[in-house]
Amino acid sequence: MIAELQCVVLDCRNPGEMAAFYASLLGGEVDRPDRRWALDDDWSTVHSAGLVLAFQRVPDHRPPRWPGQEPSQQIHLDLAVTDLDGAHEQVLALGASLLDGGEGRRGWRVYADPAGHPFCLVRH
């Protein structure tokens, strides 16, 4: 092993809003003090189940377009759920938007978080 994953960082305009969204979605602690980085208006984190998601302010952030690639997605998260329909209602209530509902043909749906990053809810 050469390295250990420290965190996954997503660009956005409002780091605090994004941290709150993902903490509500995944559980976890927003902006836990951590010696590895400073927390401020330009950087926010969520510690959840051994994973750290970080959000950095990019004032001119352009959300990716799904399924297009201009600008490209670059990264998206697949999140396992046991109740796809129930999770669907919950993420919409948190501020996500549905990009592709799959029309019941498959076991996942594609959403955008409040900053426009795509993520999938996948039936577990």
Domains assigned to the chain: 8-57 (3.10.180.10), 77-123 (3.10.180.10)
d(CA 92, CA 63): 18
Contact assessment for residue 87 and residue 98, using Cβ atoms and an 8 Å cutoff: no
Summarised one tens digit per residue, pLDDT across range 7-29 is 999 999 999 999 999 999 999 99
Q: What is the pLDDT of residues 67-109, one digit of tens each?
A: 877 877 777 888 989 999 999 999 999 999 999 887 765 788 9
This prediction's pTM: 0.83
